[in-house]
Amino acid sequence: MTTSASIAEAGSADERPPFRVAPEAISVLESLWHAGHGAYLVGGGVRDSYLGLQVVDWDVATDARPEQILAIFPGSTYKNRFGTVLAQGLEITTFRRDHRYADHRRPERVTFSEDVYEDLARRDLTINAIAWGRRGPDSKPRELDPADGRGDLEDRLVRAVGAPERRFDEDALRLLRAIRIAARLDFTIEPITYAAMTEHARDISWVSEERVATEVRRMLAGPTPSRAFHMLLETGILAATLPELAALADQPETATTSSTATRLDHALATLDSARITAPGQERLALAALLHPLGVDLAGTVLERLRVSGRDSDAILRIIETLPADYRPDWSDANVRRDMRRVGADLLDDLLLLRQAHVDASSDAAAAALDDELRARIHAQRAAAAPLTLGELAVDGRDVRDTLGLPESPAIGRILDRLLEDVIADPSLNQRMTLLTRANLILDEQTLRVAGTARPSGIR
Ligand code: ATP
Ligand code: MG
């Protein structure tokens, strides 16, 4: 059979994969087959496609060596130092063989293999070790599933390939991958695999903080992220990675009436609610998860999770303002001060988190108060009550010119006072009114400065 004939055949019905595939993925396979190589779709793409989920990344495994892959795909580049090549948006990896792992981590070098079965055997989970492709241009495409990943997909099970004890001992990152994938798919971790994970929980400390951070943050993006954290807690992995959070599992939740709930349960319920009210918003998910820790401990955890300084500041500001201590006798000015506390840029996030917080709580009275505060905040918003210096009817230049003052910090202080006044009474936000008040404030400050400047004893 000629090479070109076999490529043409790849399009015929019986030679197409039994799951939906992106055309780019097929075209990459065809290029590799055409060049005489064996090449297969494998990994998360096959798994997710079988489950009817949207596939973002297709992984291709081949017997072609990295430099051969580069030659076949003009413009392709190395994705990492292990020889994975990025071509036409896909990750192409040369078959590998497992070898001894030092330190419970991914080895510093890889050994290439010619054998697709060896490559499938080194993969972490049975559902990630299903391959579809062909050995070369002259063979028929077919599915290879030596670990019965199809069976586990059917039974909705996450199971290690081979002996679980050994697989987690080799590479402790697999502990987090298994939990992330099980939580995302709502699969059960098969009992022997789960027992091995519990046994090896402490090995997670061999994995770099950065890689742990990446996995944990991906868990937050799942549909019901609490599932992942319950497994992390139960296996002992949470205590080894985020001990501050694990400690919350020993503290009863006092704000709710349910007697067995812990503060971690409350954090996780808030996290799941935030995932529903604000899907895809990592900042809110983190604020929801970490809010019971308070600002200082939450800051420590955010640093460990490698959250940027900017996001971290925002998250801590939201956590700080989450408890409103609201009472129905609050004046509207009090409501506006609460809005100002978090800042206009984060007010929406704060409201979403408060909503999630209420949804997660079984305290009906607190929920009613929170609903009322939210309604009052929305009313203030609708009335466009000014809350920032930028919304004042005057700016620094106006104040300077009117008062005949040089540029100085005093101007900023006067503007801050004007804003306080306007937050207390928005009807003051008129140019002439504010400039008149600026004059009064200046007089007051001058008097105060003059007063303190007088030698003591003379009144
Ligand atoms: P997702 O892309 O949704 O995270 P995935 O399973 O595709 O899931 P990748 O990181 O893209 O994850 O890895 C691709 C494949 O490589 C996996 O499906 C698995 O077969 C294998 N793999 C990845 N990491 C490991 C590991 N630490 N140990 C063994 N095999 C791994
Ligand atoms: Mg993938």
- 21 and 55, same domain (yes or no): yes
Question: Atom of ligand 1 at shortest distance to CA of 48?
Answer: 3
Question: Atom of ligand 1 at shortest distance to CA of 173?
Answer: 27
Q: Is the pTM of this model over 0.95?
A: no
- 101 and 192, same domain (yes or no): no
Q: Which pLDDT tens digit goes with each residue over 93-144?
A: 999 987 766 677 776 678 899 999 999 999 999 999 999 999 988 899 999 9
- 310 and 427, same domain (yes or no): no
pLDDT at 104: 76
| Dihedral of alpha carbons 292, 295, 300, 306, sign | positive
Q: Which of 241, 259, 291 lies at the terminal end of a domain, its last residue?
A: 241
- 188 and 85, same domain (yes or no): no
Query: In terms of C-beta distances under 8 Å and separation of at least 24 residues, what long-range contacts does 386-389 make, across chains too?
Result: 386/419, 386/422, 386/423, 386/426, 386/429, 387/336, 387/339, 387/340, 387/344, 387/423, 388/340, 388/344, 388/419, 389/415, 389/416, 389/419
* Percent of the chain at pLDDT exceeding 90: 77
Q: Which of 241, 263, 281 lies at the terminal end of a domain, its last residue?
A: 241
Q: Domain range holding 293?
A: 248-385
pLDDT at 3: 38
User: Which residue lies with its CA nearest to atom 18 of ligand 1?
Assistant: 43
Residue 168 lies in a domain: yes
Q: What CATH number did the domain enclosing 218 receive?
A: 1.10.110.30
- 213 and 254, same domain (yes or no): no
Count of domains in the chain?
A: 4
- 176 and 61, same domain (yes or no): no
- 169 and 140, same domain (yes or no): no
- 335 and 276, same domain (yes or no): yes
Residue 410 lies in a domain: yes
Cα-to-centroid distance, 61 and ligand 2 (Å): 12
Cα-to-centroid distance, 172 and ligand 2 (Å): 18
Give the C-alpha distances (Å, rounded to integers) separating 96 from 71, 115, 122, 385: 20, 8, 7, 63
Residue 400 lies in a domain: yes
- 253 and 298, same domain (yes or no): yes
Q: Which pLDDT tens digit goes with each residue over 346-394?
A: 999 999 999 999 888 877 888 899 889 999 999 999 999 899 999 999 9
Cα-to-centroid distance, 369 and ligand 2 (Å): 45
Residue 166 lies in a domain: yes
* Percent of the chain at pLDDT exceeding 70: 92
Residue 457 lies in a domain: no
Whether the per-residue pLDDT at 5 is higher than 60: the answer is: no
pLDDT at 214: 98
Q: What CATH number did the domain enclosing 107 receive?
A: 3.30.460.10
Q: Quick one: which ligand is closest to 48's CA?
A: 1
Q: Quick one: which ligand is closest to 173's CA?
A: 1
Cα-to-centroid distance, 49 and ligand 1 (Å): 15
Question: Atom of ligand 1 at shortest distance to CA of 59?
Answer: 14
What mean pLDDT, rounded, does the chain reach?
Answer: 91
- 287 and 380, same domain (yes or no): yes
Backbone angles phi, psi at 224, to 5 degrees: -130, 80
Residues flanking ligand 1, CB < 6 Å: 43-44, 57, 59, 123-124, 128-129, 171, 173-174, 177
Residue 395 lies in a domain: yes
User: Which residue lies with its CA nearest to atom 15 of ligand 1?
Assistant: 43
User: Which residue lies with its CA nearest to atom 30 of ligand 1?
Assistant: 123
- 235 and 276, same domain (yes or no): no
Residue 454 lies in a domain: no
pLDDT at 295: 97
Residue 459 lies in a domain: no
Cα-to-centroid distance, 44 and ligand 2 (Å): 5
| Dihedral of alpha carbons 408, 412, 418, 421, sign | negative
- 19 and 149, same domain (yes or no): yes
Strands 85-87 and 77-78: antiparallel
Give the C-alpha distances (Å, rounded to integers) separating 402 from 79, 176, 430, 432: 61, 63, 15, 10
Distance (Å, whole) CA 77 – CA 93: 12
pLDDT at 100: 66
